Structure 1
Amino acid sequence: MTEYRVLGRTGLKVSPLCLGAMMFGWWGEPSPDESARIIDRALDSGVNFIDTADLYSQGQSEEFVGQALAKSGKRDQIVLATKCHGAMGEGPNERGNSRRWIFQAVENSLRRLGTDWIDLYQIHRPEQDTDVEETLGALTDLVRQGKVRYLGTSTFPAHHLVEAHWASERRGLERFVCEQPPYSLLVRGVEAAVLPVAQKYGMGVITWSPLAGGWLTGRYRKGNEVPESRRAGLLPDRYDLTLPGNQAKLEAVEQLAVLAEENGLTLIQLALAFTLHHPAVTSTIIGPRTFEHLESQLGADEVTLSAEVLDRIDQIVAPGVTLNPGDNGWQPRELTDASYRRR
């Protein structure tokens, strides 16, 4: 039986495994019927938490999720989360964290999802040109209109979370109740500041990419050809084996696979159980592209890791270390655009 966890201090109870819908639509599974089959299986297993975003397959993921929930009649039983920020058109204002775009984006998501309200509405990435009070002010209005229940962030650095918390207190605005960071056996950078800050401010944590973009599925092993994937084409720096960070990931995966086998686990089970073991983490997002992927991940929330296993993991990948910085999901523009360092 699923043991539900409370999201931060909201009282909202969610399953430890959250069904991520990024791979529904032309990015991954193009069939709405097969996507619905995956969703139905997850719900039947006790999952009550679904996460998507407007950006995923440019809205098609939201449409597939909405259609599946309408067929199942289980919308009222589900905690439904989506996000905005990414570019949804060619215009300069069809993206970002401004009031104008948030108001338009939430209406678009409500229509695609076929629902009157969104349980958790998240800002997909920080935006340095937009005042967080602008963003929180717009989101607060949406909460008061009943279109959104709770607010969250995704891939925000710790100092942005603190700034947002202070802005909420200072202006009497709704606060972000959870953060969604990248976190896995290979991507542990958030342990240094993001997770402690979330704990300090009573925020829930929903981790994305607990299988490190496929690296922890068993497909990436020494001696094997690098598997082809759409993700590798979109994010080459995270898979290019000529990069030292990815070579370090490959070395770590070999040791982690042995550790999993020695303890009667699959690498997938070890990876998912690891993220759920951290006391700051509420739920971890599984993002299956196929029904078989889902089956290999269900039940991982029932795995308990011993102190000895956790200590061995720390020896393989040190706490707070991300082996390839490209896996962090976001970098401040001052690091990615030289013009911001040389004005």
Structure 2
Amino acid sequence: MVDHRPFGHTGVRVSALTLGAMNFGQRGNPDHEDSIRIIHRALDEGITSIDTADVYSDGESEEIVGKALAGGRREDVFLATKFHGQVGDNPQHRGNSRRWIVRAVDNSLRRLRTDWIDLYQAHRPEPGTDFDETLGALTDLVRQGKIRYLGTSTFEPSAIVEGQWIAQRCGRERVVSEQPPYSILARGVEREVLPVAQRHGLAVIPWSPLAGGWLSGRYHAGLDAPISRRADRLPARFDPRLPANAAKLVAVEKLAALADEAGLSLIHLAIAFVLEHPAVTSAIIGPRTLAHLESQLGATKVTLSADVLDRIDAIVAPGTTLNPADAGYQPPALTDPAYRRRGGLSTPQARVTP
């Protein structure tokens, strides 16, 4: 059975593994009944936390989770979903504005077949929208009983701190969790995100502890990269011909040898590494098949020795993300030249209401 940990300072306890539902639906496993079997198996093994998002297969993932929890299993699950990304073809159906949030939450509640969402998360920052507007809308949803807690995903440390400041200064509900990318190959959050989360008592539920499959044992030097829809969509993260991904492959070979020497699977080594960090509450696993789930369940029983952790540090240095594309989000100040040039922006950007 999976052990449980405190969810920040909320008083809630959640399983050390969270079942990520991104791969349920057309984006991954289109078989609803098979996906439901995977969810039920995870629950039977003691996983009590499920994470999804409205953009996963345009809401189909939420629908599958809703079906799986029907019939009495909803009460025992800490259910998390997210808003921000565009759902469907309408460009208005996205964002972090009050206008979209109040509609998005009702859509998610309907698909999930529930009256409340335990953790409602901003899937990404939106610099052009006041963070106070977002937190104000979410605060109203808490008071209406539609959501219990607020969370963020892939936010910069400055934005995490800003959220705490707005809550205190403006009387908003406080963000209680952050969901960052974190794996042996993507350790950038160790620099500031994880320490900031600890300082403010936030729960941390990292996504992609297997680095998008790079630490699943499927990638090997000299062999063609596995074929997948994700690799087709995101060549910057998965094309082994790119230098940053070639560096990941070198690290993977060394990590696989270390795992073998330690008597572990690479999967267990990777997940146990993420769970070892004192800031981490629960690692999100995203199985597409029952076999994927079974291969990951035992990771919570693994304790890595100091020697193994030191050798991991020697392969990928603390605070290092080998491929910046794996960071999940790049601030506009880095991606849009207009943010770095006087007169480049014609409209005011995000501000904080005092």
| TM-score of the aligned structures, taking structure 2 as reference length | 0.95
**1:221 aligned residue:** 220
**Separation (CA, whole Å) in 2 of partners of 1:2 and 1:206:** 15
Q: Which residue of 2 aligns with 1:146?
A: 145
How big is the shift at 1:179?
0.1
| TM superposition shift of 1:341 | 2.9
Q: Which string of whole-angstrom CA distances, capped at 9 and with x for unpartnered residues, describes residues 181-229 of structure 1?
A: 0000100000000000000000000000000001000111112111100
The Cα shift of 1:240 comes to 1.6
- How far the C-alpha of 1:322 sits from its partner, in A, is 0.0
1:83 and 1:121 in contact (8 A); partners too: yes
Name the structure 2 match of 1:111: 110
Q: How does 1:250-329 map to 2 (within 5 A)?
A: 250-329=249-328
Aligned-residue offset at 1:175: 0.7
Q: CA deviation at 1:89?
A: 3.5
Q: Residue in 1 aligned with 2:9?
A: 9
- SS of equivalent to 1:183: coil
Q: Does 1:70 align with 2:70?
A: yes
Distance 2:55 2:335 in 1: 22
User: How much has 1:241 moved relative to structure 2?
Assistant: 1.8
Residue of structure 2 equivalent to 1:38: 38
Q: Does 1:120 align with 2:126?
A: no
User: Offset of 1:90 from its aligned partner?
Assistant: 3.6
CA deviation map 1:273-311 (0-9, x unaligned)? 000000000000000000100000001011000000000
User: Could you tell me which residue of structure 2 aligns to residue 100 of structure 1?
Assistant: 99
In structure 1, the partner of 2:171 is 172
Shift of 1:4: 0.8
Residues 2 and 17 of structure 2 are in contact (CA less than 8 Å); yes or no, is this contact kept in structure 1?
no
1:130 — aligned with what? 129
CA shift, 1:88, in A, is 1.1
The answer to whether the Cα contact below 8 Å between 2:154 and 2:328 also exists between their aligned partners in 1 is yes
- The DSSP-based 3-state class of the residue aligned with 1:226 is coil
Q: Give yes or no for contact 1:120–1:152 (8 Å, CA) kept in 2.
A: yes
Per the alignment, residue 47 of structure 2 pairs with 47
Secondary structure of 1:285 counterpart: strand
- 1:251, 1:276 → 2: CA distance? 23
Q: How many Å separate the matches in 2 of 1:256 and 1:198?
A: 28
Counterpart residue type for residue 69 of structure 1: L
Distance (whole Å) between structure 1 residues aligned to residue 227 and residue 268 of structure 2: 23
Counterpart CA distance in 1 for 2:313 and 2:2 is 28
- Aligned residue type for 1:98: S
Q: Contact conserved, 2:179 with 2:206, CA < 8 A, in 1?
A: yes
Percent pairwise identity: 66
Aligned-residue Cα RMSD (Å) equals 0.9
Counterpart contact for 1:89–1:95, Cα < 8 Å = no
Distance 1:241 1:13 in 2: 39
Report the equivalent of 1:58.
Answer: 58
Output the CA distance in 2 between the equivalents of 1:37 and 1:116. 23
Deviation string 1:148-176 (CA, Å, 9 cap, x unpaired) is 00110000010000011000000111011
* Matched residue SS, 1:340: helix
Q: Secondary structure at the match of 1:14?
A: strand
Identify the range of structure 1 (143-152 vs 234-243) with the bigger mean alpha-carbon deviation: 234-243
Q: Which amino acid aligns with 2:242?
A: L
Return the alpha-carbon distance in structure 2 between the equivalents of residues 22 and 249 of structure 1.
23
| Counterparts of 1:90 and 1:68, CA distance in 2 | 27
Write out per-residue CA displacement over residues 24-57 of structure 1, whole angstroms, 9 at most, x where no aligned residue: 0000110110001000100000000000000000
- Quote how far apart the aligned CAs of 1:94 are: 1.1
One-letter code aligned to 2:25 = G
TM-score norm. by structure 1 comes to 0.98
Equivalent residues of 2:19, 2:42 under 8 A apart: yes
Structure 2 residue 156 is matched with structure 1 residue 157: yes
Structure 2 counterpart of 1:147, which letter? K
Q: Secondary structure at the match of 1:177?
A: strand
Which amino acid in 1 is paired with 2:210?
Answer: L
SS of corresponding position for 2:255: helix
Distance in 2 between residues matched to 1:68 and 1:180, nearest whole Å: 24
The number of equivalent residue pairs is 342
Give, in angstroms, the shift of residue 233 of structure 1.
1.1
